[in-house]
Chains A and B, each alone.
Chain A
């Protein structure tokens, strides 16, 4: 992005609520502030991005003073450079580069890194923090020739990496991936000596733009995809299994098909981090099944693939069945196939699916695909629910099949589910599951509201607010934490306002939503619940629930009176357990 384009991007005046970000750095923020604001503005076009900054020359002080800001910013960005650890590592000070100074510089950097570590932990308890470790090359301080690494520069880098590792483990902190920034902004093209000396701004415009973009990515990350549908022949493996048989398909170095093994390895990793995997293949179903049975190297993957849609029908129809089984939106799904024709057919039927070609003819491009898959599905934390998601989907399919099979009285069926519902009032600020659920659930979602990390921390520290999480298990297995309700309390005994309520699609048809309302009314002793309901393009299941419960189309604002709810609520069979944090 050019600076003039960044300035133009900031001229927009969106009417949504402001997005206040505090930029913490030790140098004059100048164009970095402009680029960061502009990249963020482009990512958040409905909100007015407002970037504030602190005092020149006092980075750690600026960081510590972040907590004195009133109101607190929604998020803070900490941009560190070498001179923030010791002024002698910048160009605007001439405190000495003598060989006898090096030991003291090392000690100063290590001490300052410890001070930053402590401040980062403290600030991030209340304000989400995005951190960039030093991105500029070290100046020629050491007597070593430039081609050598010595104990001096390696010790400095070790101190910084130790700080980074500490920060990465802290709650509400995210760090820029230095390797990714290296791709976008070559290290030799980052420092602008003239402006560093003239105005205290150390970056070239190109680097400031890339750094601003990288920080904006961390402030408003793209929602991770939920499921991947893969083709088999010339994608999961090399060769046509229907022609060469189960032992003829390959994924190894000897057959120059190792890139398929790398793809399989990433798929197994994705599955273990909670991503749903399925197969859509035009193929001989028996031959495909034999490959999974006879080739034991595929065993880790085989257990993760559900459903397997292998037939000679159009792939878009197989994809339709997979989406139904997963009960997720097409926009959360990636389809990988080597055939442009098949990709086009699926894309035409499902425009919201991300269709990606498996570039079987180029190992280098397959490597690029692996990186792209990490970007599409990446998440910064794994939860217990990630481990049970796949199994709970299989159980959910069995659950739906039992209902669909008929012959079973649905009331009797629900009564015999042996269901345990755990409702926990309050959330640990380190527990990311509730926020993740609110921000990724579309179908059973009261109004589509999303929370930034800053909004969420503010919610958790608000004495008038409540957060309830819902976990469920029955005889088909555990679903984990599948719902969140949050809002504000009014006077005891009067009522409460719910401004966010989500329930995972895996938990539908078990009357969990009814149990939630009953719990809320009883636990808080409320005469009524005010639901901040809004129609969204995707919350049809929530609308259906409300319509079925009250017998009419829901209209905002929606009041649920206790007496009315008790009249309409169907029988509930869950064993309720209440916890508090």
Chain B
């Protein structure tokens, strides 16, 4: 697991206390009942704080699954 993936897993783990570390990489709005729009807003803040980034409003819609967030982070960090 990459450093980015590991840190993202910790972010999701903090919010979704009921998910095991193995379940988190498969987590999404569709598979986790607790993952609603409020959860997304909180995850955006947690991830932004953890990675020291500012998430633009047009990217908020990508915070709906672990996979998409990871892809967003890896793309953003490559660009920056």
Contact = CB atoms under 8 A, between A and B. Distances in A.
A199 B50 contact: no
Interface string B12-43: 00110100000000000000000000100110
A198 interface: yes
Contact of A30 (B41, B49, B60): B41
A129 B14 CA distance: 30
B15 A7 contact: yes
B42 A30 contact: yes
A194 B17 contact: no
B3 interface: no
Contacts of B45: 3, 30-31, 195, 205
A3 B54 contact: no
B14 A4 contact: yes
B46 A7 contact: yes
A4 B46 contact: yes
A199 B50 CA distance: 20
A256 B17 CA distance: 59
A34 interface: yes
A34 B45 CA distance: 12
Nearest to A6: B14
Interface in A1-60: 2-4, 7-8, 11, 30-31, 34
A11 B45 CA distance: 18
B5 interface: no
Contacts of A4: 10-11, 14, 46, 49-50
B11 A198 contact: no
A199 B38 CA distance: 9
Contact of B14 (A7, A199, A201): A7
B54 A194 contact: yes
A31 B15 CA distance: 12
Contacts of A197: 57
Interface string B41-63: 11001100110001001001000
A31 B14 CA distance: 14
A11 B16 CA distance: 10
Nearest to A192: B45
A7 B17 CA distance: 9
Interface string A195-216: 1011101000100000000000
B49 A205 contact: yes
A195 B17 CA distance: 25
A197 B56 CA distance: 12
Contacts of B17: 11
Contact of B57 (A7, A8, A31, A198): A198
Contacts of A2: 49-50
Nearest to B48: A205
Contacts of B57: 194, 197-198
Contact of B41 (A7, A8, A11, A199): A199
B41 to A, nearest CB: 5
Interface of A: 2-4, 7-8, 11, 30-31, 34, 194-195, 197-199, 201, 205
Interface of B: 10-11, 14-15, 17, 38, 41-42, 45-46, 49-50, 54, 57, 60
Closest 6 CB pairs of A and B: A7-B14, A4-B14, A11-B17, A3-B46, A198-B57, A199-B41
7 contacts: A3-B46, A4-B10, A4-B50, A7-B14, A194-B57, A199-B41, A205-B45
